[in-house]
Chain A
Amino acid sequence: EAGVAQSPRYKIIEKRQSVAFWCNPISGHATLYWYQQILGQGPKLLIQFQNNGVVDDSQLPKDRFSAERLKGVDSTLKIQPAKLEDSAVYLCASTSRTSAAEQFFGPGTRLTVL
């Protein structure tokens, strides 16, 4: 069974530019999460989807971050415009009802904003 796929693995941009990350969850997983992991900290939830609906986006900076999961499968997270403090690893995770609460993580996208 393939794991959670993310691309790109690395991205370097200038501040005020835009960037997008892509995530393809494990097949059949209805729940998808985006976490932000700043260097030296634990991951923090940005947004949670159940199928194509948003369950929790309370910690998503909506003035610059957006995310979508149009067909309930893969998802895109966008930052526009980026700030220096957005430098972090963006992790995508997925789970299903049969996963017994375990979330499966992708390798992450490391974003550097200069």
Chain B
Amino acid sequence: AQSVTQLDSQVPVFEEAPVELRCNYSSSVSVYLFWYVQYPNQGLQLLLKYLSGSTLVKGINGFEAEFNKSQTSFHLRKPSVHISDTAEYFCAVSAPQGAQKLVFGQGTRLTINP
């Protein structure tokens, strides 16, 4: 069984400051890793994913994440945030085959202050 822990439920940041959202996972097998973003009253949108290969993954809107197998982490980073990045962010894992269910963390609410 897989599980995901997002270490911060809320992260307040000033505009143009860097941000890191932390995610740790637990699994007895290798995994695929994902970060999704959810804007108010909307569904989830994929930011980025790690399937294999380079451990540094770049996504949309200037976000990137690094897969660290030894620490079982997949932290999300952005060097300079904007007001429009205010949203809920979810880390998720799945088994390493196609069309597998996603197991989500509890979410991190990112609030950008002007």
User: Hey, which bits of chain A sit against chain B, CB under 8 A?
Assistant: 4, 30-31, 33, 35, 40-45, 48, 50, 56, 91, 93, 95, 97, 99-103, 105-108, 110
The count of chain B contact residues (Cβ–Cβ below 8 Å) is 25
The reply to whether A45 and B98 contact each other, CB–CB distance below 8 Å, is no
Contacts A42-B104, A100-B51, A101-B49 given; does A95 touch B43 at CB 8 Å = no
Q: How many angstroms from the CA of A84 to the CA of B43 in the assembled complex?
A: 23
Q: How many angstroms from the CA of A5 to the CA of B41 in the assembled complex?
A: 14
Q: How many angstroms from the CA of A106 to the CA of B46 in the assembled complex?
A: 12
What mask results when residues 96 to 114 of chain B are scored 1 for a CB within 8 Å of chain A, else 0? 0011111111110000000
B63 on the A face (CB < 8 A): no
Q: How many angstroms from the CA of A35 to the CA of B104 in the assembled complex?
A: 10
On chain A, the residues within 8 Å of B32 by CB distance are 101
Contact partner of B44 among A30, A45, A56, A91, CB < 8 A?
A91
B90 on the A face (CB < 8 A): yes
B27 on the A face (CB < 8 A): no
